[in-house]
Amino acid sequence: MYIKDQVKKLTPYKPGKTVDDVKKELGLDEIIKLASNENPFGCSKKVGEELTANALNYAIYPDGGGTVLRKALTEFYQLPGDQFILGNGSDEIIQIIARAMLDSSKNTVMATPTFPQYKHNAVIEGAEVLEIPLIDGVHDLDKMAQAVNDQTAVVWVCSPNNPTGVSISDQDLKQFLNKIPNDVVIVLDEAYFEYVAADDYYDSLELIQQYPNLIVTRTFSKAYGLAGFRVGYGIAQPALIQALEPVREPFNTNSLAQLAASAALKDQDFIKYCKEQNRKGIVKFQQFCEEYGLSYFPTQGNFILIHFNRDADEMFESLMKKGIIARSGHALGYPESLRITIGSEEQVEKTLKAIKEIITQ
């Protein structure tokens, strides 16, 4: 059996413990899962209504072109349908880009620590990965631009960045885009776009019209609360979308997911509510960190990376014993921090109470 050398060296993604696992293991009744940045409020009620109202024929393949969802995106963004590529989560958009544009003759530039799927997919394709360390949780865009050379095919920018939550300013991003050659594709991952409250955030849709080598990725997994359905999308000029389309599997997004996402998009009141609740939660976390002298990154996402000044796995275990599953910073490049999803008001309170008990013990 032949397996690519680079694949042999990779380890499969290790999913966090499920709520049921932890319940059984610790004999707890209530578990708060704050490990994967899922929406604590679930999703819009419109999703359930739409799915109930439309009896789907499960025996037939989904619409490969995603007509209904594409139309919903077209109306929402006021952009033509050929500026979108639909994916089985934005993870798949990342995979499609890597598959179409990277091989062993190319390199690709990204920050570190950042979302691990860029590197993972680049390695599978055999490309050289150039990683530029973050400065204070934010991309070092100057160094990233300097790292671009003749072999560079793709540059990945994550804003707000996972796991730090820090977003890039309008001015910094524009300066950066101007430095990147036209034949290098820039992927701007905006998985947390709906949560951003920063005044200096850029308008990426406007930038797309200006930069034919820019593709923005967004998802229904985070603010829209549809992680279980796996829907994400890329937005770019038609030529870039067309270049990627041959790599996309014909039926990559399924019928239920397409319907659910198009319904979710139409309920912006729900998104607004989630964004407001998330901001309130962030303020509570930040006040707590100030009070207890913990350092954290100023987050624009629905999670916060907090430095506990002790081993992340130990902190993770202590919290888990109190029924709260966070994400240990070990695998994220921050061995003394936890990344914690901002939960509902009640969840935030319980989490802060648990942290307080642990750190003041």
Q: For binding to ligand PLP (CB under 6 A), which residues are involved?
A: 89-91, 115, 158, 162, 189, 191, 219, 221, 227, 232
Least Cα distance to 216 among 237, 244, 196, 231 occurs for 237
In angstroms, give the least distance from the CB of 190 to ligand PLP: 8
Q: How many other C-beta atoms lie within 10 A of the C-beta of residue 324?
A: 26
In angstroms, give the least distance from the CB of 219 to ligand PLP: 3
Tokens at residue 9, please? 């060296």
| DSSP three-state, residue 345 | helix
Tell me the C-alpha distance between 322 and 268, whole Å: 35
Residue nearest to ligand PLP as judged by C-beta position: 89
- Residue 318 or 337 having the CB closest to ligand PLP: 337
In angstroms, give the least distance from the CB of 38 to ligand PLP: 9
In angstroms, give the least distance from the CB of 290 to ligand PLP: 26
DSSP 323: T
In angstroms, give the least distance from the CB of 124 to ligand PLP: 16
- Residue 152 or 162 having the CB closest to ligand PLP: 162
- Residue 107 or 300 having the CB closest to ligand PLP: 300
Tell me the C-alpha distance between 275 and 342, whole Å: 11
DSSP 18: P
- Residue 121 or 318 having the CB closest to ligand PLP: 121
Q: What is the DSSP annotation of 116-173?
A: THHHHHHHHTT-EEEEEE-BTTB--HHHHHHH--TTEEEEEEESSPTTT-PPPPHHHH
- Residue 219 or 254 having the CB closest to ligand PLP: 219
